[in-house]
Amino acid sequence: MFRARGLAAVLAVLTAASLVLSGCSFLPVEDEALQPPLVEPAREPLDYTVVSRGTIETYLRGTAHFVSSRVETLSFKESGGRLKSINVALGDHVEAGEPVAELEVGDLELQAELQRLNVERARLLYKEARTSGASGVDLRLREIDLEREQKMLEAMETRLGKARLHAPISGTVIFVASMKEGDTVSAYQPIVTIADPDSVQLTYVAAESRELFGLEVGMPAFLKYKGVEYTGKVLQTPSSAPLTADPAGAERNGVTIVVGIDDPPGDVQIGHSADLTIPLQKRENVIVLPRSAIRSYMGRNYVQVVEGERIKEVDVETGLTTPTEVEIVKGLEEGQMVVLNN
């Protein structure tokens, strides 16, 4: 009897356990979460170009300004004088020989005038001695007196000449020193600069000297002034500029070229500007790519070449470069497709 009760207890425990383990079957079954569909991302369309041969040319382009090809800067040759007056102003037209500036000379002008009288007196006495039959000694003494008075006058006139500046050419005043009456003048200090407006050329000043690499005297130049095209040629480059001990002048010459113009326009004025174009280098039948095809990293130049379904990086060696194109010297062949870096 006890054995039957024990077996019944064991069966009851097993039955309860099986009910617990299978209890979830009495609850509603939840639907399994659906996985999102796998969608292949759309490929961005690539811009590319086909490698081909062509012509590439580099130019120097910029704005040049008209200047006079005949310019005279006036200065006094000795130091220590005091300025009396500057007789011209910026923009004035002057004629050759016209006085433009002078130094104070005290009573030197009066002394020179009196000396002219002394010369005249000595000349009259000499003539009188000759006509009156004076002896050789007396005649020679009169001659010496005349020569002495003439040399004294010449010295005074030389001093007066050094104290005055006259225009050596007819033209326009383009510079006047900022000085006032009584200021001390140094030797060779620029006082007035005169330019001949009928003799014109152009200057172009580069931002950096490397812009002018490859330029040579005689190269053709093309100019556009007021919509009209003109031709000319390079007259001076940094390498052909005259040597100067002035540091500022040397620095200026290092970034400046001078261009002559054939048949300049009649209405041009000094200071006007013109568009300047100078062909520098030209390569024909070479591989040329848009600059947007070239990629650089750590000094390495390379392009991305399409090969079937792949894109491959290829190192290239570049040559002439313009703002929009670049010559490929090595690394590519005609017909290849190169991805643009847009």
Structure confidence by residue, pLDDT tens digits, 13-43: 445 545 444 444 444 555 566 666 666 665 6
Q: Is 75 exposed, middle or buried (0-12, 13-18, 19+ CB in 10 A)?
A: middle
End-of-domain residue from the set 178, 198, 218: 198
Q: Find the CATH number of the domain harbouring 238.
A: 2.40.30.170
- Residue 156 belongs to a domain: yes
- Domain assignment present for 226: yes
Say what the pLDDT of residue 63 is: 97
Is 84 in the same domain as 176?
Answer: yes
- CA–CA separation, 129 and 276 (whole Å): 74
The count of other CB atoms within 10 Å of the CB of residue 241 is: 16
- The answer on 287 and 327 residing in a single domain is yes
- DSSP code string of 204-270: EE-SSGGGGTT--TT-EEEEEETTEEEEEEEEE-TTTSPP-S-HHHHHHHTTEEEEEESS--TT--T
Identify whether 240 is part of a domain.
yes
| pLDDT band for position 276 (cuts 50, 70, 90) | very high
Q: How many CB atoms lie within 10 A of CB 266?
A: 6
The rounded mean pLDDT for the chain is 87
Strand partners of residue 310: 307
Residue 96 and residue 126 in one domain: no
d(CA 315, CA 294): 10
Q: Taking residues 124-131, what's their average pLDDT?
A: 88
> pLDDT digit string (tens) for 222-243?
999 999 999 999 999 999 998 8
End of a domain among 113, 143, 162?
Answer: 162
Instruction: Quote the domain boundaries for residue 145.
Output: 105-162
On whether residue 30 sits in a domain, the answer given is no
d(CA 17, CA 21): 6
| 149 in Cβ contact with 129 (< 8 Å) | no
List phi, psi (to 5°) of 272.
-65, 160
Look at residue 126 and tell me if it is in a domain.
yes
In a domain, 265, yes or no: yes
Based on the domain organization, do 220 and 142 belong to the same domain? no
- Only one residue has tokens 């050094």, namely 162
CB atoms within 10 A of CB 69: 17
At residue 59's C-alpha, the angle toward residues 220 and 272, to 5°, is: 70
Across the chain, the runs of DSSP E, i.e. the strands, are: 48-50, 52-68, 71-74, 83-86, 93-94, 99-103, 164-166, 171-176, 192-195, 200-205, 220-225, 228-236, 256-261, 273-290, 295-297, 300-307, 310-315, 317-321, 325-330, 337-339
- CA 106 – CA 248 distance, rounded (Å): 37
**What is the pLDDT, as a whole number, of residue 31?**
56
Q: Of 19-33, 112-126, 189-203, where does mean pLDDT reach its minimum?
A: 19-33
* Same domain membership, residue 192 and residue 207: no
Say if residues 237 and 213 touch (Cβ distance below 8 Å). no
Report the candidate in 148, 146, 149, 152 with the shortest Cα–Cα distance to residue 125: 146
Cβ burial of 317 (10 Å; 0-12, 13-18, 19+) is exposed
- Position 139 scores a pLDDT of 87
The pair of structure tokens assigned to 261 is 């113009």
Identify which has the larger pLDDT, 19 or 51.
51
Number of domains in the chain: 4
pTM of the model: 0.64
List the CATH number of the domain containing 306.
2.40.420.20
The pLDDT, as a whole number, for residue 79 is 86
Residue 37 lies in a domain: no
Please name which of 308, 339, 315, 311 lies closest in space to residue 329, comparing C-alpha atoms. Answer: 315
- Local confidence band at 138 (pLDDT 50, 70, 90 cut-offs): confident
Rounded to whole angstroms, the Cα distance separating 59 from 281 reads 7
| Sign of the dihedral defined by the CA atoms of residues 237, 238, 239, 244, in that order | positive
Range with the poorest average pLDDT among 34-43, 100-109, 182-191, 269-278: 34-43
